[in-house]
Chain A
């Protein structure tokens, strides 16, 4: 055994990278990934894109219809994020060490949230298709569940971080439970919560595209339709519209975040 800590660290690093390399090689084998084709496909894809993956006149004429689908998707992303965050905040208050009404509440609150966020949004969509079919509800609830699980996790941390001290002070004044929550915990956590809601709206717009492909709704469905009928120039317009929308919403979120914090 080497006693020199520097040497030990070096050996640890080498072992780490060796294991990682082995795992990577194993992954290449099991996924049947063709490395050579992988490298050559990238320039081919981009040279193809410069001629075929650009919106033509026919595509631009479809813009109003595409924008309509985009707004539908954005609205779904917003409503699922806000409603899930409202419910998530309540469950986080029940689960956080600082604010739980009884220690027994923590485990179920955190456990349920963990289940909801660890099932991927695409898996939720496949599950919910059974009950809601190809309606907007499928995508809404898929995004709702994942957002809910995520918000509970981050808000439990936030509440315990910013709430602990002021909760103690308000308990000492004789204030009751709901008063403490509404007068100190919520005001202290609200900016963080808003920041997380905005983050989830950004995430949900991207996820909504994916869910739309699975469930045949929104902008994802538009893309899928053009893509499968090999109308690539219209498909490229859909991508462009999504990129612009995401960038605008990200910029807007950053402005709001700066103003709120």
Chain B
């Protein structure tokens, strides 16, 4: 009875915290931007429904009837090796450069001004899309593998410096302190404590970057004259308009990329287990 005469205040279920509010605002903002974006699309008179139907037909052709015409199977393999080689080379070069610079970018290993200098520089390097790095170097070195290797190495190094430095910073401060207390020099500390403890993290980041670089190498073949399978795909698409040949190339990169991903997953699981 007393409840009816004097209604109790409503109880709020979800408190209006900063996190909840931020989530709602972010979702709202992204939704509005997306809806607005659809109104700005340059459709060039293409009807979406017909084009989507066409896309499904094309997928069928691409995936169910692949075959080679302008190149042989041996050519395809060679092109794939060129692309893989490009990915590997840039990952190795990037990793070597990144290892040394990351030591100076880690807060527990080098002075803070040096950390900030390197981290700022790598943020800039990463902000430039890889393709623009490659095209930039192509002006001085000409279109080809040299520009592709330098450009991709730049971006890889920028990415790996950040990843490596963060791995170094996770090292237990006590371990470093103990070595320093025993009179070890800076380089001794690095090779006796820093490298062994972070080796598996470095390895798995490097492999992640190799996966990225394999993809990038395809893209550079298509856009920046780096050759390999990306270039063949570009030719099949833009010049021969041959979807079925494009399908054969697609299968080649798909199989390789899935194998890499499978390997990475298993390596991660093994490293995780050995750490326990």
Query: Which chain B residues numbered 26 to 65 have a C-beta less than 8 Å away from chain A?
Result: 26-27, 30-31, 33-34, 36-38, 40-44, 46, 48, 51-52, 54-55, 58, 62
Flag B118-151 by CB within 8 Å of A: 1 or 0 each. 0000011001111110011101110011110110
Contact flag A259-B22 (CB < 8 Å), given A30-B81, A45-B139, A122-B230: yes
Flag A154-189 by CB within 8 Å of B: 1 or 0 each. 000000000000000000000000000000000000
Which of A122, A129, A132, A191: most chain B CB closer than 10 A?
A: A122
Cβ-closest chain B residue relative to A223? B132
Is B76 on the interface with A (CB-CB < 8 A)? Answer: no
CB distance from A231 to the nearest CB of B (A): 12
- Inter-subunit contact B51/A132 (CB<8 Å): yes
Contacts of B92 in A (CB 8 A): 20, 24, 27
A260: contacting residue among B19, B41, B46, CB under 8 A: B19
Contact flag A129-B223 (CB < 8 Å), given A31-B145, A135-B46, A239-B132: no
Query: Which chain A residues numbered 113 to 152 have a C-beta less than 8 Å away from chain B?
Result: 114-115, 118-123, 126-137, 140-141
- Inter-subunit contact B131/A129 (CB<8 Å): no
- Inter-subunit contact B46/A210 (CB<8 Å): no
Is B218 on the interface with A (CB-CB < 8 A)? Answer: yes
CB distance from B183 to the nearest CB of A (A): 23
Cβ-closest chain B residue relative to A75? B37
If over half of A's interface residues share one DSSP class (helix, strand or loop), that class is named, otherwise mixed; here it is helix
Cβ-closest chain B residue relative to A83? B34
**Which one, A33-41, A88-96, A99-107, is touching chain B?**
A33-41
- Inter-subunit contact A135/B41 (CB<8 Å): yes
CB distance from B94 to the nearest CB of A (A): 12
Contacts of A78 in B (CB 8 A): 30, 33-34, 37
Query: Which chain A residues numbered 245 to 261 have a C-beta less than 8 Å away from chain B?
Result: 246-247, 250, 256, 259-261
B48: contacting residue among A27, A72, A137, A210, CB under 8 A: A137
Contacts of B233 in A (CB 8 A): 122-123, 126
A79: contacting residue among B34, B127, B253, CB under 8 A: B34
Which of A119, A121, A128: most chain B CB closer than 10 A?
A: A119
- Inter-subunit contact B43/A121 (CB<8 Å): no
Contact flag A38-B150 (CB < 8 Å), given A75-B33, A122-B219: yes
A136: contacting residue among B42, B140, B146, CB under 8 A: B42
Contact flag A194-B145 (CB < 8 Å), given A118-B254, A135-B44, A243-B127: no
Cβ-closest chain B residue relative to A77? B37
- Inter-subunit contact A115/B128 (CB<8 Å): no
- Inter-subunit contact A191/B131 (CB<8 Å): no
- Inter-subunit contact A243/B140 (CB<8 Å): no
Per the bound structure, the CA–CA distance linking A170 and B147 in Å amounts to 57
Per the bound structure, the CA–CA distance linking A41 and B153 in Å amounts to 13
**Which one, B4-12, B82-90, B165-173, B184-192, is touching chain A?**
B82-90
Is B243 on the interface with A (CB-CB < 8 A)? Answer: yes
B131: contacting residue among A41, A137, A209, CB under 8 A: A209
Contacts of B127 in A (CB 8 A): 242-243, 246-247, 250
Binding site for B on A (CB under 8 A): 20, 23-24, 26-28, 30-34, 37-38, 41-42, 44-45, 48-49, 53, 72, 75-76, 78-79, 82-83, 114-115, 118-123, 126-137, 140-141, 190-191, 194, 197, 206-207, 209-210, 213-214, 217, 220, 223, 227, 232, 239, 242-243, 246-247, 250, 256, 259-261
Q: Which 5 A-B pairs have the closest CB atoms?
A: A27-B85, A122-B219, A79-B37, A45-B140, A259-B22
